[in-house]
């Protein structure tokens, strides 16, 4: 078995690795580190959770151990798709450079430009950034990329999903042609293949797992869900989620719950909190400081359930996540691989459960086609409510005659017509001899009308 001591890494880097508790490299690390140390371009393809971050941080630190950074001209550049992944890479550098005097800067959104400018002005050996924030600094004239010796693109397929490919191509054009490029991705879409053919020079290709495979240490399952009514579907789906969490019992030490939309992340987290679950949301619209506090609480074990959008699906290195719940079926099949890759890491066992409604069945079929296996169906833990029995029919009521309706009124019997108040008044008008005679036209005739024509002419 290969050991880190066999990889020609810097002695101080090896010391930091030992202190971190690692002895043997993962397959992607064993395959990528030697050619990277030789200065060759590397194309690494491996499923999430296999240690890709150390595959480029360890050789980078060894290569940068000699030399000195200049103001506004970083010696190396690491591009990450999300703030969380960039922060995770920065933590890895802190861990492995503890015995070396290398400087770094983290350029991500949600942090003051002024603080980041001060770091760049002093000169950094390693610049870790998201594409958008990096270009912001460049366009403000605060950064030069002409001194970059090593460039790393991490989670390239996620860059594609988030629309960063034009930014990546522009950044490549701003760096020297002589740079060394380390390119890592979990999947190889045609667009990613085009970029590697354009910007990498005869790269060493290391593929330690079939593209878009899921770890064998993860137990998978899917619940086929159908709401009773459209207006109740969302609340009933959240009820299924709570039942799935409860069914795991003590085995569910902590979990990440993935939703497709940011609004659903907030609603789901608030619903869980309402029912007494220790849950908190994380998505791109939250303040960066709040996102980091939530992540730190989850890593430290002070938060049990992390409700997340796909911003948390990549690069979150929390080795002890026991469960992943897909509240929504991801619309992109590749995202399923990355989501469930948050559990079952570093050889540990994990469990991933997904809730699939009728409208998501096409996306489920795409996922199964991608991973080339059928995801086992599991029973819905929430049993549908039984319909109430109809009350017994009263036969005696059936036999009783029903009142006949007439044109005179709804449900009024014809025999009652003579007794109605209206009919009484009509009868009174017809009985002129009565004491309550009603005077009307014809009963009170003006006298001049009663005169004959001759009488009126004579008068």
Task: Write down the CATH superfamily of domain 4-207.
Answer: P-loop containing nucleotide triphosphate hydrolases (3.40.50.300)
Q: Are 313 and 157 in contact (CB under 8 A)?
A: no
Tell me the C-alpha distance between 437 and 424, whole Å: 13
User: What is the structure's pLDDT at 414?
Assistant: 43
Tens-binned pLDDT, residue by residue, of the chain (459 aa): 578 999 999 999 999 999 988 889 989 999 999 999 999 999 998 876 678 899 999 999 999 998 888 888 999 999 999 888 898 899 999 999 999 999 999 999 878 898 899 989 989 999 999 999 999 999 999 999 999 999 999 988 888 878 899 999 999 999 999 999 999 987 788 888 999 999 999 999 998 865 566 778 899 999 999 988 888 999 999 999 999 999 999 999 999 999 999 899 999 999 999 999 999 999 878 887 888 889 889 988 999 999 998 865 555 667 689 999 999 999 888 889 888 888 887 678 899 999 999 899 999 999 999 888 999 999 999 876 544 444 445 444 444 445 555 554 444 444 444 444 444 444 444 444 444 555 555 556 666 666 655 555 555
Q: Which H or E run contains 129? A: strand 126-129
Report the 10 Å Cβ neighbour count for 253: 12
User: What is the structure's pLDDT at 251?
Assistant: 93
Q: Hey, what are 217's tokens?
A: 């240490």
CA 288 from centroid of its chain's CA atoms: 17
Domain 218-378, CATH among 3.30.43.10, 3.40.50.300, 3.30.420.40, 3.10.105.10: 3.40.50.300
User: What is the structure's pLDDT at 407?
Assistant: 53
Q: Which H or E run contains 132? A: helix 131-139
User: What is the structure's pLDDT at 370?
Assistant: 86
Strands 255-258 and 305-308: parallel
Residue ranges of the chain assigned to CATH 3.40.50.300: 4-207, 218-378
pTM of the model: 0.65
DSSP label at residue 434:
S
Tell me the C-alpha distance between 375 and 365, whole Å: 10
């Amino acid at each position: 078995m290969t050991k880190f001591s066999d990889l020609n890494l810097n002695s101080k880097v090896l010391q930091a690795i030992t202190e971190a508790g690692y002895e043997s490299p993962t397959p992607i690390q064993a395959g990528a580190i030697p050619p990277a140390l030789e200065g060759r371009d590397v194309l690494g393809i491996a499923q999430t959770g296999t240690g890709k971050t150390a595959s480029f941080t360890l050789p980078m630190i060894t290569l940068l151990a000699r030399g000195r950074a200049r103001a506004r001209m970083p010696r190396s550049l690491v591009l990450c798709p999300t703030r969380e992944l960039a922060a995770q890479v920065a933590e890895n550098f802190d861990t492995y450079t503890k015995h070396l005097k290398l400087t770094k800067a983290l350029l991500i959104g949600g942090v003051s430009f002024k603080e980041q400018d001060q770091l760049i002005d002093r000169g950094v050996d390693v610049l870790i950034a998201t594409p958008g924030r990096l270009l912001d600094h460049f366009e403000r004239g605060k950064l030069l990329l002409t001194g970059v010796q090593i460039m790393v693109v991490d989670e390239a397929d996620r860059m594609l999903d988030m629309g960063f490919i034009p930014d990546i191509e522009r950044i490549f054009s701003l760096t020297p042609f002589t740079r060394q490029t380390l390119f890592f991705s979990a999947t190889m879409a045609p667009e990613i293949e085009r970029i590697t053919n354009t910007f990498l020079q005869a790269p060493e290709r290391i593929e330690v797992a079939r593209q878009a495979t899921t770890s064998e240490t993860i137990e998978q399952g899917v619940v086929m869900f159908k709401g009773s009514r459209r207006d109740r579907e969302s609340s009933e789906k959240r009820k299924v989620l709570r039942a799935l969490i409860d069914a795991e019992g003590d085995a569910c030490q902590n979990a990440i719950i993935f939703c497709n939309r940011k609004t659903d992340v907030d609603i789901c987290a608030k619903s869980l909190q309402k029912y007494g679950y220790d849950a908190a949301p994380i998505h791109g619209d939250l303040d960066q400081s709040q996102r980091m506090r939530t992540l730190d609480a989850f890593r430290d074990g002070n938060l049990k359930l992390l409700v997340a959008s796909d911003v948390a699906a990549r690069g979150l290195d929390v080795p002890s996540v026991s469960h992943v719940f897909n509240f929504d079926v991801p619309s992109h099949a590749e995202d399923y691989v990355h989501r469930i890759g948050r559990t079952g890491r570093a050889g540990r066992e994990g469990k991933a459960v997904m809730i699939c409604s009728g409208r998501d069945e096409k996306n489920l079929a795409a996922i199964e086609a991608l991973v080339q296996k059928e995801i086992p169906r599991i029973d819905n833990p929430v049993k549908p409510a039984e319909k109430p029995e109809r009350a017994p029919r009263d036969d005696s009521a059936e036999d009783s005659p029903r009142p006949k309706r007439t044109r005179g009124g709804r449900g009024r019997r014809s025999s009652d017509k003579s007794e109605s108040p209206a009919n009484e008044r009509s009868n009174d008008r017809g009985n002129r001899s009565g004491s309550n005679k009603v005077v009307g036209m014809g009963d009170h005739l003006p006298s001049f009308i009663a005169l004959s024509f001759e009488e009126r002419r004579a008068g």
